[in-house]
A and B are shown apart, each in its own frame.
Chain A
Amino acid sequence: MTEAKQPARGRTAVVDPDLVEAARVLRGALVRVHPSFRFEERLATRLGTAALAVARDGGRDAGHARDPIPFPGPDGFEQLGEMPYASSAGAPEPRHWRTPIPATNLPVRLPRGALIGGAIASGVSLAGAALLARRWRSRPSRSPFARATRAAHRAAADRGRAVRGGLA
């Protein structure tokens, strides 16, 4: 085959018959191998998803479609829309690391700062309330009404002690 250019220089092409025979055998033995229909259709579905991503992103990178797990925004997962392969019809089989994770299985991310701040505020509130309650109880009121109440209470107690002592 490769010696076919030699006759252009006026020489007789001498092709080794063994090589011709080997080429004949290889031509018959090395057939084209097809993938399975299942793989073909699964990849077609995947390429369709990737093509949509390319059309949407202007061809920047179809590789994003390979890992279709967008980062959740602050408003939750509603804005993510339907995950690829979420529908049961024509859904491909899960396939190791490329399997998209359904949105329902994604962990809910709560704002860490709000959690920490909330815990501190609650602690301060509880501790402050307890401290104020103890101080309110230990410090006598200076209002006239309070003073009169305490005086009446003391007088009643003194009368009681006198009765119990036989003085009345």
Chain B
Amino acid sequence: MRTEPERRPPSGADVDRAAVAAAKRHPQRFAVLYRKYLPQVYSFAFYELGNHHDAEDVTERVFLSALSALPRFEDRGEESSTFRVWLFRIARNAIRNQRRALARRREAPAALAEHVPSEIDPDRLALLNEEHAQAWKAVARLPADRRRAVILRFVEEMSTAEIAAVMERSEGAVRVLIHRALRSVARDLGRGSAS
């Protein structure tokens, strides 16, 4: 597993417009968007599903779907309608479908069920830094919607408007989710009082 500690600047409304237009005219140009967003989509899937195999499956499905549906994508010039948000909404749906498939597989024989990941495995993924390991555990204990909001905020560095568009929630609801998530993480890290 490779990690990238340095951050990229968040995408604005128009950063991908030219690349998307080129990919619409020539589907082979989709490679530019693929190379740019592969780590982001993969990270999102990995944090949501907790293992590389499922993250790879979802990532593959996301980009194939995006390539297929790209002619129907429209950038309305808003922060909530960028290619990035659109791509992450595809990813969110793909992750949801993957979760359903995994849930169905849990009813399969025990030999298969052993390979079904449920949540992020903190022990396997724990970083060397103890503080980071505690943060991982705290994030893993969050409810799904709070964890998703935190990942989109801190891993993908999305704005509140972008997160709201991806999660199909209001911006106020996203602020509440992140606030409560931070409160839970602070409590688990021993820095906050229960509320």
Contact = CB atoms under 8 A, between A and B. Distances in A.
B76 interface: no
6 contacts: A16-B192, A30-B135, A33-B46, A47-B64, A52-B27, A62-B64
A27 B151 CA distance: 10
Contacts of B135: 25-26, 28-30
Contact of A44 (B31, B65, B129, B136): B31
Contact of B30 (A31, A51, A65): A51
Contacts of A52: 27-28
| Chain B interface main SS type | helix
Given A1-B178, A18-B192, A25-B131, A62 B4 contact: no
A59 interface: yes
A151 to B, nearest CB: 89
Contact of A22 (B31, B59, B189, B193): B189
A111 interface: no
Contact of B189 (A25, A32, A44, A54): A25
A32 B39 contact: yes
Nearest to A40: B38
B86 interface: no
A35 interface: yes
Interface string B1-42: 111110100000000000000000011101100110011101
A146 interface: no
B141 interface: no
B75 interface: no
A35 B27 contact: no
A30 B3 CA distance: 10
A57 to B, nearest CB: 10
Given A62-B64, A62-B67, A2 B3 contact: no
A51 B67 contact: yes
Contact of A29 (B26, B46, B132): B132
Interface residues of B, number: 57
B74 to A, nearest CB: 14
A25 B56 CA distance: 27
B88 interface: no
Given A2-B175, A51-B30, A31 B155 contact: yes
Interface in B126-140: 127, 129, 131-132, 134-136, 139
A25 B43 contact: no
Contacts of A34: 1-4, 39, 42-43
Contacts of A33: 1-3, 39, 42-43, 46-47, 55
Contacts of A19: 179, 182-183, 186, 192
A36 B55 CA distance: 11
A61 interface: yes
B63 A48 contact: no
B39 A35 contact: yes
A22 B192 contact: yes
Contacts of A62: 27, 64, 67-68
A154 B149 CA distance: 114
A28 B179 CA distance: 18
B150 interface: yes
A52 B64 CA distance: 12
